[in-house]
Amino acid sequence: MRKELVIALRVTAVTLVLTGLVYPLVTTGLARVLFPWRAGGSFVKDERGQVVGSELAASQPSFPAADGRGWK
């Protein structure tokens, strides 16, 4: 029984590291390499070059209207 518990804990630890650390880091790294113009966000800068907001933060949502008139 002890042997099975040790194996289960090892599998759990490996799965946690792979899915919680390795996969997100690899995915983020690939996104930054393949799409550097999109992976950094949609920051809006003022005339001095300081970040003042995001293009997506105040954008209108694009989903069907609740009254059935179609897309907004």
The answer to whether 54 touches 61, Cβ cutoff 8 Å, is no
pLDDT of residue 68: 60
Query: pLDDT per residue over 1-34, tens digit each?
Result: 999 999 999 999 999 999 999 999 999 999 999 9
Residue 63 three-state SS = coil
pLDDT of residue 27: 94
Expressed in angstroms, the distance from the first to the final Cα of the chain is: 61
The DSSP letter of residue 48 is T
